[in-house]
A and B are shown apart, each in its own frame.
Chain A
Amino acid sequence: MQEYGIETKKGLEFGLYTLGDHLADPRTGKRISAQQRIKEIIELAQLAEQAGIDFFSVGESHQDYFTTQAHSVVLAAIAQATEKIKIASSSTIISTLDPVRVYEDFATIDLISDGRTEIIAGRASRVGNFELLGYDLNHYEELFEEKFALLLQINEEEIVNWEGKFRAPLRDARIIPRPKRGKLPIWRAVGGPAASAIRAGRMGVPMFLATLGGPASIFKRSIDAFRETARESGFDPDRLPVATAGFFYIAETTQDAQREYYPHINEGMKLTNGRGYPKQHFAQGADPRDVMNIGSPQQVIEKILYQHELFGHQRYIGQMDFGGVPFDKLKRNIEYIGEEILPAIRKYTKKTKADTNE
């Protein structure tokens, strides 16, 4: 795990992520400017750091209602504005980028941040980036697999010899600068069915699993499949971290949390995904067995601990800013996290000496 900067003895890492969506607050119908949204994301990372949160990441989406298309630029600003918190992309759509440029960018951010930077590479669920950046959607899978493999190779080797289908060959190409610790933690973003998790396991790379809603036990199947396939493929699953990412929101009571966050998720999903979030499913989200971490502080602590027991994962990251949530509510959430969530999950998930063998 240490190869990926994870210290298991400290317990489950807790982080926040944003997709950089740029949506109106459904209660007021007003949308802040793109500039204000980007500045608030940077400030959110600072507040997260002050509250003791371990990790903050920013995603890349190339269509309407988003504002962090240049997510690496936003991350560079966050790197400069913070000192301790780990920072990453969630995700970098490696399929439609040049892995060399991505590595140069993130190695640079890593140097600015003094070694706090990671990459989570994904394939995109919306595909506006393919046409915009000049790629054929028919190569959706191949593009990802080839470019992700190249990104991993660049991470391992400073001088790269490589040839593939979707990029000019590299002949004794020196890819610099190198990150502070020589290598960056690089994760594979995984969503949906277990097949995607199995591919991550086959490659022996850490997995970031999207868990938006539904029973936690369903997602355990993907995690088990990941570890099992890693083992079969000759990797030690105990050295491969697993992270989960999903909706997160805290208010005084679970009902308050649902009431406050639901319109944002429902209206936001309609615009960015083409379908709202059915209220019936959202109502079930309050069940302790559901993976959605929306509720009172106590409810959310119980859920995160239940998920940790089930998944044995190393990091959880929450998305609390989707759909135009006003900034004062985000600040309030960060207070809850710092005062109640972090102390509880650290207390119950940190390892005693007897537990660790690293």
Chain B
Amino acid sequence: MKVVALSGSIIGSKTRTAMNYVVEVFNDQYPDVDITLIDLADYDIQFSDGRNYLDYKGDTKFVTETLMGADAIIIGTPIFQASIPATLKNIFDLLPVSAFEDKVASMVVTAGSSKHYLVAEHQLKPILAYMKAKIVQTYVYIEEVDFDRQQIVNDDILFRIERLVEDTVLLTRTYTKMREEQEAKYNF
């Protein structure tokens, strides 16, 4: 199973910090899972111009191909101006229409306060659904107060991250199995 942890912002530290914890859970508890962390801050990615993702070069090609090769994607996003950052939206724009078909997607959201709790529900989930992801319905929402100097200081958040990773792995395994059974029935 290939999982990509995508940190969707190019500035700030909270989303990256949260994604480090996600990766740590994978490393500790799911050594058989092939986990890759992609922090958009580490890459130089161009704006989508509508071409097939295979036709991009450099970092843009690398990041899109890595995402397309994943069985599951855990998306980490901050909230900027009551929405997801443009850098993350650009990743979705770079990919094909049904890019997440047969993939599981789950979400980790960081925000300054509780005001933006429904942003992921109202803005991120519809994009993932349109791109045909199988979505882990619950997400981990982390506020400013839960962080202290690039550490998460709220055990409740750590427990929730563990549960999110577990749910992501479980759902990916389950969907893979269901799909295999369904496809075997086609007999071709």
**Cβ 8 A contact of A274, one of B54, B187, B188:** B54
**Cβ 8 A contact of A128, one of B50, B55, B98:** B55
Asked if A279 is an interface residue, CB under 8 A from chain B, the answer is yes
Asked if B99 is an interface residue, CB under 8 A from chain A, the answer is yes
A127 and B51 in contact, given A274-B96, A275-B96, A280-B182 (Cβ under 8 angstroms): yes
A358 to B98, CA, bound (A): 46
Residues of A within 8 A of B53 (CB): 274
CB distance from A191 to the nearest CB of B (A): 13
B95 to chain A: closest residue by CB: A274
Which residues of B, 48-73, contact A by the 8 Å Cβ criterion?
49-55, 68
Number of A-B contacts defined by CB within 8 Å: 45
Evaluate contact between A262 and B52: CB separation under 8 angstroms. no
**Cβ 8 A contact of B51, one of A137, A258, A275, A282:** A137
Residues of B within 8 A of A298 (CB): none
**Cβ 8 A contact of B98, one of A127, A275, A282:** A275
A137 and B188 in contact, given A275-B68, A275-B98 (Cβ under 8 angstroms): no
Evaluate contact between A283 and B96: CB separation under 8 angstroms. no
A259 and B52 in contact, given A274-B96, A275-B96 (Cβ under 8 angstroms): no
A308 to B62, CA, bound (A): 44
A259 to B187, CA, bound (A): 7
CB distance from A252 to the nearest CB of B (A): 13
Evaluate contact between B52 and A255: CB separation under 8 angstroms. no
Asked if A125 is an interface residue, CB under 8 A from chain B, the answer is yes
A128 to B55, CA, bound (A): 6
CB distance from A259 to the nearest CB of B (A): 4
A127 to B56, CA, bound (A): 10
A246-285: CB near B (< 8 Å → 1, else 0) gives 0000000001001100100000000001110011101100
Interface residue total, chain B, C-beta cutoff 8 A? 18
A284 to chain B: closest residue by CB: B186
A258 to B188, CA, bound (A): 6
B66-106: CB near A (< 8 Å → 1, else 0) gives 00100000000000000000000000000010110110000
**Cβ 8 A contact of A273, one of B50, B52, B102:** B52
A279 to B182, CA, bound (A): 9
CB distance from B117 to the nearest CB of A (A): 34
A119-132: CB near B (< 8 Å → 1, else 0) gives 00000011110000
Q: List B residues at the A interface (Cβ < 8 Å).
A: 49-55, 68, 96, 98-99, 101-102, 182-183, 186-188
Given contacts A63-B55, A274-B68, A278-B101, 17 further A-B contacts (CB under 8 A): A126-B52, A127-B51, A127-B52, A128-B55, A137-B49, A140-B50, A255-B188, A258-B186, A258-B188, A273-B52, A274-B54, A275-B99, A278-B102, A279-B186, A280-B182, A282-B188, A283-B186
Q: List A residues at the B interface (Cβ < 8 Å).
A: 63, 125-128, 137-138, 140, 255, 258-259, 262, 273-275, 278-280, 282-283
26 pairs of residues in contact across A and B, judged by CB atoms under 8 Å: A63-B54, A63-B55, A125-B52, A126-B52, A126-B54, A127-B55, A128-B55, A137-B51, A138-B49, A140-B50, A255-B187, A258-B186, A262-B188, A273-B52, A273-B54, A274-B52, A274-B54, A274-B68, A274-B96, A275-B68, A275-B99, A278-B102, A279-B186, A280-B182, A280-B183, A282-B186
